Chain A
Amino acid sequence: MSFVLTPKHLEQIEELKGRYPSAHALALPLLWMVQEQEGVITLDAIDCIAPYCDLPSMELYRIATFYTMFHLEPVGTYHIQLCKTLSCALCGKGEILERLQAKLGIKAGETTADGRFTISQVECLGSCGSAPVMQINEEYHENLTPQKIDEILEALE
């Protein structure tokens, strides 16, 4: 097994255990730790964390495939998650996607060859009042326009 939790995470796990009536509750927090550390959730890592939440690896794998934010396949350094749901669609998400695809030369669902950018289309980000919206990794970018996309991407170059 190549995956090991960092001492910081081990400390967090101890603290978290005291906060829940059962270790099972640590499933999601543990998967988050793995993804934070590795960027992706590997089977190796699942086997490593399983004992900490007292769940079989299969259950963790099932969980990882249920929640869309968990990645079982690696994504780019910058994971662009463009909202595709109704309010954003009404407010011009289409042209934002076009601009993103044109700028990065990839389609939604793809990653650039250098592994820097992935474009995903996601469901409502809870930001409909500032549509169209996307998240790059965890950061929100709101009230998007094609010009704004240019600026944002340039800042990341």
Chain B
Amino acid sequence: MRDARIVSRRFDIPQIHTIEVARNHGAYEKLHWAFALSSDEIITMIHESGLRGKGGGGAPAGDKWSLMPLNDSRPSYLVVNCDESEPGTFKDRQIIVKDPHLLIEGIILTCYAINAHHAYIYIRGEYAPFQQILQTAIDEAYRAGYLGASADGSDFALDITIHRGAGAYICGEKSALLESMEGKRGHPRLKPKQKECEWYFGNPTLVNNVETIASVPFIVYDGPMAYRAFGTAKSPGTLLFAISGHVERPGVYEAEFGVSMMEYINRFGGGIKGGKKLKAVIPGGASTAVLTAEEAAGATLDYETLQSMRSALGTGGMIVMDEDTDMVEALKNLLEFYRHESCGQCTPCREGTGWSDIIVHNILEGTASSTDIDRLLQLSRTMNGQTICVFAPAVSMVIDSFISKFRDEFEAKLRKDL
């Protein structure tokens, strides 16, 4: 595995979160050069780099940027998604704490390209201490003239405002996030029938994940080909993969797409904790299908491979479970999460998350009946594809994968109490 650090390149430099140190290491240095480029030129670079959204969906960023109207009478906005609430995911936090000026520079470039003069960073409420660090960096950038009426002496005006969430996983979903920012409950919106940008108070808006935006400076300054030098054809570049659970060295380590999952777990994660055997890995945040140890052994960390395994790369936050893990307990834990976090708008999700939690509870308590596992699968089918957002289908995928891959453990619980 070769070293592949784009976003985390400056993470280890002491005090890099301050503007002086960041500038000594190249921050904002080439902004004026970028301002000589046209919007189209920058958007083309993003297209060519193949950059995919790093918030979980993996949508090509260039496509999304192209949906933004450049000559609209309404103001355009960039909203940076720092809701980071997917269990197993804690990477965006590293960026805002360790190298906030990288994110700010990415925001400046992105806003310049899509002709937005105000960017919002929606940050989960729990991240208050990290929000403080980011706000300090933004204040520094204002004072240094990179933000405000004229960014870096150009005629490009830009403001950045941090908007604090208040504890709701669903607000990471982009339309729920925008609802939340409009002063409402975080209910995902009905999806438009055709491809279009997002809307904030009726104004064209681009929503991207923190890491997506933090990847922009590298692509613009070093060129799309430098980015494509990493990763695979379909998953170009790198990701701040994260690893937690039963490993020796949990944490966030950037790697290029396409590396072997086990190699990653062993090299960065230091292998399974206490030298135990691996049982399962949830590859990309809780909302992706669990993989067995055998599957993990054959997995590579890219969108296409994990998709072909009927799972997903998601946020790249791996949760590792050793041989002693009770998979029924693990599913119960996740179902409690989903039950707690469903926005409650649509019937299949509101009732389905609650009911499946109750069924697994009964399985654990020994009060379930022999048909309950199939009921659970039936429920999961109802949650798939009939809801406003993909929260419920994700729950469905999680349930299906746990049961199909670890059915014997579920059945053992039933038998024990027969």
> Which listed segment binds B: A100-108, A122-130, A148-156?
A122-130
Do A28 and B166 form a contact, CB below 8 Å, given A86-B245, A128-B250, A128-B317?
yes
User: Whose C-beta in chain A lies nearest to the C-beta of B88?
Assistant: A128
Determine if A112 is an interface residue (Cβ-Cβ < 8 Å).
no
Select A85's contact among B87, B200, B325, beta carbons within 8 Å: B87
8 Å CB contact of B124 from A26, A85, A126: A126
Q: Mark A35-73, 1 if CB is under 8 A from B, else 0.
A: 000000000000000000101000100110011111000
- A96 touches B (CB below 8 Å): no
Bound Cα distance A97, B88 (Å): 20
Partner of B245, one of A29, A62, A90: A90
B168 and A130 contact, CB distance less than 8 A:
no
State whether A67 touches B167 (Cβ < 8 A).
yes
Query: A87 and B244: CB pair below 8 A?
Result: yes
Chain A residue total in the interface (Cβ 8 A) = 43
Are A123 and B89 in contact, with the CB atoms below 8 A? no
Residue of A nearest to B273 (CB): A91
Within 8 A of B (CB), among A105-157: 122-131, 135, 138-140
In the complex, which residues 273-320 of chain B have their Cβ closer than 8 Å to any Cβ of chain A? 282, 286, 317, 319
Name the A residues within 8 Å of B282 (CB-CB). 86
Instruction: Establish whether residues A32 and B168, one from each chain, have CB atoms under 8 Å apart when the complex forms.
Output: no
**What does the 1/0 interface line of B116-157 toward A look like (CB < 8 Å)?**
001000001111110000000000000000000000000000
Point out the residue from B163, B169, B250 that lies within 8 Å of A129, measured CB to CB.
B250
Tell which of A20, A59, A68, A131 touches B244, judged by Cβ atoms closer than 8 Å: A131
Contacting pair A24 B90 (CB below 8 A): no
A31-B166, A86-B330 known; A69+B125 contact, CB < 8 A: yes
- A124: which B residues are within 8 A, CB to CB? 85-88, 169, 286, 337
Q: What residues on B are CB-neighbors of A25 within 8 Å?
A: 163, 181-183, 201
The chain A residue with its CB closest to the CB of B89 is A126
For B336, the chain A residues whose CB sits under 8 A away are 84
How many chain B residues sit at the interface, stated as a range, is 35 or more
Does A89 touch B at the CB level, under 8 Å? yes
* B242 interface contact, C-beta 8 A: yes
B215 lies within 8 A of chain A by Cβ? no
Whole-angstrom distance between the alpha carbons of A80 and B157 in the complex?
42
Does A19 interact with chain B (Cβ within 8 Å)? yes
Q: Is B15 an interface residue (CB 8 A)?
A: no
- The answer to whether A69 and B244 touch across the interface, beta carbons within 8 angstroms, is no
- Distance from B53 Cβ to chain A, minimum over Cβ atoms (Å): 18
* Residue from B244, B250, B317 whose CB has the most chain A CB atoms within 10 Å: B244
Q: A63-B185, A135-B126 are in contact. Are A28 and B167 (CB under 8 A)?
A: no
Give Cα A28 to B89, complex, Å.
24
Docked Cα-Cα span, A138 to B127, in Å, equals 8
- Most B Cβ at <10 Å: residue of A21, A27, A28, A86: A86
With contacts A89-B333, A123-B341 known, is A66 near B319, CB below 8 A? no
* Residue A22, interface by CB 8 Å: yes
**Are B166 and A85 in contact (CB-based, < 8 A)?**
no
Q: Which residues of chain B (77-112) have a CB below 8 Å from chain A?
A: 84-90, 93
Check A86 against B286 for contact (C-beta < 8 Å). yes
**Contact, CB under 8 Å: A66 / B185:** yes
Contact present for A123 and B337 (CB under 8 Å):
yes
**Which residue of chain B has its CB nearest to the CB of A60?**
B183
Q: Given the complex, which residues of A lie within 8 Å of B252, measured CB to CB?
A: 129
Residues of A within 8 A of B325 (CB): 90
Q: Which residues of A contact B124 (CB under 8 A)?
A: 126
What is the CA–CA distance of A123 and B172 in the complex, to the nearest angstrom?
A: 14
Shortest beta-carbon distance, A61 to chain B, in Å? Answer: 11
Most buried by B among A20, A31, A126, A140: A126
Q: Give min CB distance, B211 to chain A, whole Å.
A: 13
Using Cβ atoms and an 8 Å threshold, which residues of chain B touch A66? 168, 185-186, 343
Q: Is the CB of A70 within 8 A of B89?
A: no
Residues in B whose Cβ lies below 8 Å from that of A67? 125, 165-168, 186
Measured CA separation A129–B89 after assembly (Å): 9
